[in-house]
Amino acid sequence: MSRIHLKSSIGAQYREEAEELFFFNPKQAGVRDRVRQHVARYGTPVIRCREGLISFDLTGVDHAQTLFIMMGANKLRLAGMLVYVREEDSLCVLYLALKPVYTVSWRKGCLLLARVLDMLKKIAGCIKGIHQVQLSVASKDITFRL
């Protein structure tokens, strides 16, 4: 598997690809109820373009963050993204979208997800007051203590 990078924003040239991945992901049907819950609590996800960079915001909160999952060494490719908020001592990942090509097999999807979660836990460990990462998966939350 290629080298993975987490970026808080990416160039506007990725906008269409990010919209397709986030809003029209073929795996969405499996998390539809959870998405409705998050929209009711945090607002609708919207893509923003500022100074040539894109990110995702949530209309109901002003502190949502985006991490784009990029793969490659020289030319980076968008592999996925996650949107999270900070709640007390947790980073709560509300949305996680991976390109279907990376989830075609259970092994490939798990490997990418494990690497991304490991990187996210390292980032979270550097944030003062954060003691856990909570991942929203279908109807459950999975908590990783730091």
Q: Could you read off the pLDDT of 48-70 as tens digits, one per residue?
A: 999 999 999 999 998 999 999 99
Per-residue pLDDT averaged across 14-42, rounded?
89
pLDDT score recorded for residue 90: 96
pTM: 0.91
13 pLDDT tier (thresholds 50, 70, 90): very high
CA–chain centroid gap for 133, Å, is 12
Give the per-residue SS3 of 77-95: EEEEEEEEEEECCEEEEEE
Express each pLDDT in 77-101 by its tens digit: 999 999 999 999 999 999 999 998 8
pLDDT score recorded for residue 1: 58
Return the domain boundaries, the chain: 4-145
Indicate the range of 20-29, 54-63, 123-132 predicted with least confidence: 20-29
Distance between CA atoms of 63 and 71, rounded to whole angstroms? Answer: 26
- Select 4-145's CATH number: 3.40.1000, 3.40.630, 1.10.3470, 3.30.420: 3.40.630
Alpha-helical runs (H) found in 43-85: none
